[in-house]
Amino acid sequence: MGKINYPLDKIDLTRFFWINQPNYFRLKNNRLTVITDPGTDFWQRTYYGFQNDNGHAFVSEINGDFTFSVKTRFKAEYQYDQCGIMLYHNADNWVKASVENENKECARLGSVVTNLGYSDWASTDISAHIHSVSYHFSRKDQDFLIEYSFDDVHFTQMRIFHIDVELPLARIGVYACSPLNSSFKAEFSDFKLGACQWQNHQTE
């Protein structure tokens, strides 16, 4: 659980730790494979009323501003199965961005920002035949940028947001979960971390 500051390069995954460790995972050659436990999720209160904080997150504590990137591979078959990236402070303050399976034709690429115990959800429908997404996650002070890519080359802005609580250290990494009585395999690779690549806003 050490504090780390890397150049824009591969990350030593031995510095990461689990929040809700799954029954099965494999860590080899800078690649993480997870098989989700059934009945796991991250959500707080809004609309649905329930509170779940038992999803699997693999994170490390990072100082200051940064850009974190990772590639996800998955083939979920059950509704709500999901995997992606996560910023986790505590049960009431966290962020996840992922693909969530809906049905055989449609999945949802989206993000959830949970501030002070209430989650939101912003999403867009994508093809259920997409089985790999890469993410960039950048921090500037208390502001954050999430970008995604289907080809590892062209990254598109997903969301800019602010975290209300102070974050001296950011617990950033990946997550996967299966809210229903289901399970699937998620793979994470190409972990990288370095100086913040989010350019300053220019005004005329």
pLDDT in tens, 27-50: 998 899 999 999 999 999 997 888
Place of tokens 């999720």: 41
pLDDT in tens, 150-190: 999 999 999 999 998 999 899 999 999 999 999 999 999 99
Distances (CA, A) of 12 to 56, 57, 70: 19, 16, 13
CB-based contact 34:186 (threshold 8 Å): yes
CB-based contact 133:115 (threshold 8 Å): no
CB-based contact 182:126 (threshold 8 Å): no
- Asked: is 9-194 a CATH 2.40.440.10 domain? The reply is no
Q: Model pTM greater than 0.75?
A: yes
